[in-house]
């Protein structure tokens, strides 16, 4: 599992220039099928628009990517949207930029700038998160050790995914993958070996990097 960056939440933004109105819709997706379904959804919703251009990037290395100009001159729409995604080092991301033509031609350079800027606004409206690998580890201890353990977990800012209270207490911890072993060793030392550790696999968790910004209409 590798760390990667993607959108924090769905985002929408708009931009107007020379009477043409551009609408960006950005989403985080996991598969090409999801990306294509979202693109078709936007085309259906904005069926009356002149163009619904799009781009997506997939995979934890961003190796899968595609763009579509949807009738705009080649390279003036889909690719600028794609470049906006790549500029922010995002993957598992799809953006659709809808254009309502205002009657004034922007030229190739103007189109590239408009689609790039609108896509960037969509990303700002969504925010960005880093998806990091965490190891789920269950720690079972006796009740007298609970306070000591919870204080240590708070000090280290370790997430507790679940708690179970029976004859003993079990806390399911989410440990950063790269420091999980050292944390487990520290917990064993803290409890003088009076804890039972049980690894339960790995998962990705989102860590916000950039919070969503409000829609900016120019």
Per-residue model confidence as pLDDT tens digits over 195-213: 999 999 998 898 899 899 8
Residue ranges of the chain that CATH labels 3.30.70.240:
132-209
Strand-pair category, 93-100 with 51-58:
antiparallel
> pLDDT by residue (tens digit) across 104-122?
889 999 999 999 999 999 9
- Classify residue 175 by burial, with Cβ atoms within 10 Å: 0-12, 13-18, 19+: buried
pLDDT score for 186: 96
* 130: Cα separation from own chain's centroid: 7
Predicted model pTM: 0.83
pLDDT score for 27: 97
Torsion of the alpha carbons at 204, 206, 209 and 211, rounded to the nearest 10: 160
Superfamily of domain 4-126: Impact, N-terminal domain (3.30.230.30)
List per-residue pLDDT tens for the chain, 218 residues long.
578 999 999 999 999 999 999 999 999 999 999 999 999 999 999 999 999 999 999 998 889 999 999 999 999 999 999 999 999 999 999 999 999 998 888 999 999 999 999 999 999 999 999 999 999 999 999 999 999 999 999 999 999 999 999 999 999 999 999 899 999 999 999 999 999 999 999 988 988 998 998 754 44
Q: Which of 96, 12, 82 is nearest to 53 (CA)?
A: 96
Q: What average pLDDT does the structure give for the chain? A: 94
Residue ranges of the chain that CATH labels 3.30.230.30:
4-126
Q: Which fold has domain 132-209?
A: Alpha-Beta Plaits (3.30.70)
pLDDT score for 103: 84
Whole-angstrom distance, CA of residue 17 vs CA of residue 111: 10
Three-class DSSP category at 158: coil
């Amino acid at each position: 599992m590798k760390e990667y960056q993607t959108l924090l939440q769905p985002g929408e933004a708009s931009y107007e220039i020379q009477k043409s109105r551009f609408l960006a819709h950005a989403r985080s997706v996991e598969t090409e099928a999801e990306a294509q379904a979202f693109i078709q959804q936007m085309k259906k919703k904005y069926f009356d628009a002149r163009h619904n251009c799009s781009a997506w990037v997939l995979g934890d290395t961003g190796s899968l990517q595609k763009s579509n100009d949807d009738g705009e001159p080649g390279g003036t729409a889909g690719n600028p949207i794609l470049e906006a995604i790549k500029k922010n080092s995002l993957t598992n991301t799809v953006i659709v930029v809808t254009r309502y033509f205002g009657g004034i031609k922007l030229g190739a350079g103007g189109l590239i700038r408009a689609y790039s800027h609108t896509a960037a606004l969509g990303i700002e409206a969504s925010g960005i998160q880093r998806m990091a690998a965490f190891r789920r580890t269950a720690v079972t201890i006796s009740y007298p050790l609970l306070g000591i353990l919870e204080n240590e977990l708070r000090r280290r800012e370790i997430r507790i995914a679940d708690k179970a209270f029976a004859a003993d207490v079990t806390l399911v911890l989410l440990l950063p993958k790269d420091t999980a072993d050292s944390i487990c060793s520290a917990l064993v030392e803290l409890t003088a070996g009076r804890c039972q550790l049980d690894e339960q696999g790995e998962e990705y968790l989102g860590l916000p990097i950039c919070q969503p910004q409000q829609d900016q209409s120019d």
